[in-house]
Every structure is written in C-alpha cells, then in structure tokens.
Structure 1
Amino acid sequence: MAFRNFTRSLFQFTKLTNNTNQRLYSSIQRKSYQTFKITQRYMPIRTFSSIQTNDNAYRDLDTFLQKEIQLEKSAQKHPSKLPTIPNFQVQTNGPEATLTRDIGNGKVVVKFNVTNTVNASDSEQESDLQSTGQEQQQTNNSSSQLKSRPTFTVDINRGGPTLSFLCSYLPNDYPDTREHQHSTENEQKHNHNEENINEDFQIDEFTIHDGEWNETVYSSDCSVIDGELYDKLLNLLEEHGIGEEFANQLADFSTAYEHRQYIGLLEKLQQFVKK
C-alpha cells in the first residue's frame, strides 16, 4: 500500500485512452489494398476479382475461419476451466460477469463486461516485429501479450443504501512507484510476459444511492477529491477484498473469458457462412 500514496498526485494527470489494437492471436494478415490514380484522385480497389460470386466469398471466409478457430483454440491458456477468483462467486451472462462476496452483514458485488477490453501496448507490438527471424515465434506466443483489463463497478451494501465505485486499471505506462522497483528493474527488462506484471487500479468515481446507479444519481470524480479521502476509499475497498491481488485475479479471469467469447463469436460466424 505504500506506493498508493503516489497515486493521488499522479492520478490527476492520468486519463486512460481507449485504443483499439489489432488482435494478435494468429499470424494471418489482412489482405492489402492497391490504389490507382484517376484525375488526381486515389481510389481503393480490392485485390480479389470483382466478378467473384457471393458463394465464393462465403467459401473463402469459411476456409479462413476453419484455420483461424484452430489457431485461437491452440492459443487458449485455459481451454477447459476459467481461472478462479478466491472468495467470490462468479456468474456470467454473455460478455458480462458478476462477482459476489458476503462479508459479515454486508455484500460486495463486482460487475464488468469483457467487450472491447483487450489491449496490447505499443511496446509489445513493436517487439513482435523487431526481427524477421523471430517474428513467427513471437506471433505464436502473441496471445500472452493480449490482456483484458475492463473497467468494473464495485457495490458495497450493508443493508441500506449502496456505496458504489467505478474503477479502471492503471495504464501500462503508469509510473512504477513500487518499493521493489529497483530490485526487479533488470528482470523486468528481460521479461515481457504480462503474467509477471502486477496490475493495479484506480477509483474513477464513487457515489451512494438507493436502487440502481443511473444518470439521476450524483457521483464524484475522484481526480478532484481530497487526496487523503481518496486513499481512505482505497483502504476501504482493500478491506472488502478489492486490492492489488484482486486486480490481478480479475484481469486473468477477464482475459481468459474474453478469449472464450471471441472464439465463440468466430464459431457463430462460421455457422452463419455455412448456411
């Protein structure tokens, strides 16, 4: 918890930017486009023949999906059983997940959605293409470079109104202020596997409400609240099991579950094109 004292001063200057990154699970690349010039204007044309029929397009997509699905399944780290989150009961519904925990007379509920939560940092994408000789091997291991880091809500109820938090993961490039930074710096330079990177989160907003948290409920942006109050809210969450260890467990679960959802989407697409 010592490094969290730095969070307040840095958090005000830190806003997460949602970047859409290309999925790197497989080595299959998208078809390129060619251009030709007509009266000073550039018009894109597809590399495949314009006289292809719809049936050919469906067959081509089906052939691609057969290979793609196999590649995705071979890249799964948890093909049969999802990672566990100790002390929490997990329920899923499509891309949504709900974690529930009873603490004394209170109840803690964490909710998140894995849709569009996978990110690969720029440094990781560059490292995948550093050398031609290592490109194929790094592509095969690219699934380990993708991680689902969703925003999530935490509801704490003690029999009356609900105290709610909106939380998000700290950016990958967030300054590392952990006390053991210097002792592990050399090791981290030689190890790009995200499994060895400790995750942490920040509180974006908090509120107290009856019923559902919606637009009619006032909430406070934590970037403008008192720093001591922010730290005490973090301590409160940690006492309810929402701390650094939980952040790592949630990211591992979300990554595996998102990958399973993506494979399911590809299988549905394959069924569609087979009709």
Structure 2
Amino acid sequence: MAFRNLTRSLFQLTKRTNINQRLYSSIQYSPQYRKFEITQRYFSIRKFSSIQTNDNAYRDLDTFLQKEIQLEKTAQKHPTQLPNIQDFQVETKGPEVTLTRQVGDDKITVKFNVTNTVNTSESEQDLNLNATEQEQQSNNAPTQLKSRPTFTVDINRGNQILSFLCSYLPNEDPDTRNQHGGIENEQKPDGEQGHFLEDFQIDEFAIHEGEWNDKVYSSDCSVIDGDLYDKLLNLLEEHGIGEEFANQLSDFSTAYEHRQYIGLLEKLQKFVKK
C-alpha cells in the first residue's frame, strides 16, 4: 500500500511539473521534407529483440507482482470480513455494490461502484512538494488511501421513485461542508489524528418511474432553495442515510476496493505466467 501511495504521488508530481513529455520532431510537414519523413518512418529508434524483451518484461513483472501482492494483503485492514453497514443488506457484483433496506412502505436502494474511487487527503500544497519532501513525509506518516464513491439513493413508493445523486464532501475544504448548512466534521472519539467523520452532499434529485435516465428531468441542488435542500437531507436522514451511514459506506468501500485491487493484481500475475 505504501508503494502504491508513493507511486501515485510521484506520478501526480511528474504530471504537474510537465517533465515527462513525449518529444516530437520540430520539423513541420512540407513537400521538401516529404522524402525525409518517409525515410524516417522506417528508421527504428530502439533496437531490441522482441522475443528477449517479452520474456524479460513478463519475468520482471511476475517477480514484482509476487512481492506487491503480499504487501497489499499484509496491509489489508479487513482481510476476512468486510465492514458492516448497519440495517442494510449488501450485494456485490464485481466493482458494483447494492445496499437495500425497508423503511415502512418505502424500499431504500443505494448503489455505487468502487472503480476509480480511491483518493487521499492530499491538498494542492502537498502536490507541489518536491519528490524528496514527499518521500520524507511518506516515511514519517504514510497517506491513508480511502474510497469515497459517488452513490445513488432510490426511495421507492408504489410505482414512483425519488432518486438522489450524492457525493462525499472534500476533506480539504471545510467551507464546502457549510454551503447548505452542514456541520464541520469532528474527530473520532478514539483520537486518531487526521481521521474525520465523513459527510456527503446531494448533487441532484429527480422523481421518475422505471429507470433514471436522460429522459428524466433532474434538478441540480446547488441552485435550489436552501430550506428545500435541508428538508431533502432530513428525508434521507430519516431513511438511514446520514453521517453515520456515510462513514460506514466509506469504510466498506475502502475495504472492498482494496480487495478488488488485489484481485486485479492476481489476475495480472496469472496473465503474465501464461
């Protein structure tokens, strides 16, 4: 996990500083250079034996994966059982997760996908650090990867569905948490440094029959009345979709995404061994 954090940080730093760019020929196309371009097209820049390259690349990748998979398994916080999401039944299919519960006459369904949902608490200032400073920080206090997926909530009443599109509030921007009257996160009772309670916002909502698609009108919650937004949050809270749910969903998603990532590495290892 630590290697995965460092690799992603270095990739972001490299991307921001623009030091890893492809170098193209500065010669522009014109008739007088046509002959040169045709000749250059058949000129090999790197001369390697394809058989030797493939063998070495697969062997090197396999050796790396053996160590990496073991490190990732050692770093798992929930290696045998995934975290619990209270009062919800959980179904998984690949990266997709579906949560369901019954509240009176209402059926609640929450759906999300863990693909590309892992982020860190790094700020823009952290990304501007040079490689040496980032390496020192990673050795002293490694960044914790967390999965904070966008999710949908469906409240089914009869033949109609009230749907919400929700997303987690940015950890590095506490002002965003107060945009619609929200409360800033507090530290957990266990006193973990830098670990704050999660919270979410409603991005869109709609009422529809059948599937929620492009033919259904939805409203952007950033432009609706503030009191209406608060009442929609209260409605979700009464159906079990509140701050505690947000924390449990993030913990579950983090553990499940990590399990999916390890599974992907194991599939890659089987592929290179063929």
Q: TM-score range by the shorter chain?
A: 0.7 to 0.9
Mapped contact 2:154–2:161 kept (Cα < 8 A): yes
Amino acid corresponding to residue 214 of structure 1 in structure 2: N
Q: What's the secondary structure of 2:203's corresponding residue?
A: strand
Amino acid corresponding to residue 212 of structure 2 in structure 1: W
Alignment match, 1:9: none
Q: Deviations over 1:122-171 (max 9, x none)?
A: 24666996486664454xx54xx110000000000122200000000001
Mapped contact 2:6–2:135 kept (Cα < 8 A): no
Shift of residue 172 of structure 1? 1.5
Amino acid corresponding to residue 234 of structure 2 in structure 1: N
Mapped contact 1:90–1:98 kept (Cα < 8 A): yes
What CA distance in whole angstroms lies between the structure 2 residues aligned with 1:96 and 1:248?
18
Q: What's the secondary structure of 1:223's corresponding residue?
A: helix
Amino acid corresponding to residue 5 of structure 2 in structure 1: L
Give the alignment's TM-score, normalised by structure 1.
0.74
Matches within 5 A, 1:163-242: 163-175=162-174, 191-192=193-194, 196-242=195-241
Q: What's the secondary structure of 1:24's corresponding residue?
A: helix
Mapped contact 2:109–2:153 kept (Cα < 8 A): yes
Give the alignment's TM-score, normalised by structure 2.
0.75
What CA distance in whole angstroms lies between the structure 1 residues aligned with 2:134 and 2:207?
53
Shift of residue 23 of structure 1? 3.8
**Which structure has the greater CA radius of gyration?**
2
Q: Deviations over 1:191-219 (max 9, x none)?
A: 23xxx311100000000000000111110
Tell me the number of residue pairs that the alignment of Structure 1 and Structure 2 aligns. 236
What CA distance in whole angstroms lies between the structure 2 residues aligned with 1:60 and 1:266?
14
Q: Are positions 1:256 and 2:255 aligned together?
A: yes
For structure 2, list consecutive stretches of 5 or more residues without a partner in the other structure: 28-45
CA separation of 1:202 and 1:180: change in aligned 2, threshold 3 A = closer
What CA distance in whole angstroms lies between the structure 1 residues aligned with 2:135 and 2:166?
40
Mapped contact 2:114–2:253 kept (Cα < 8 A): yes
Say what the alpha-carbon RMSD is for the aligned residues: 3.5
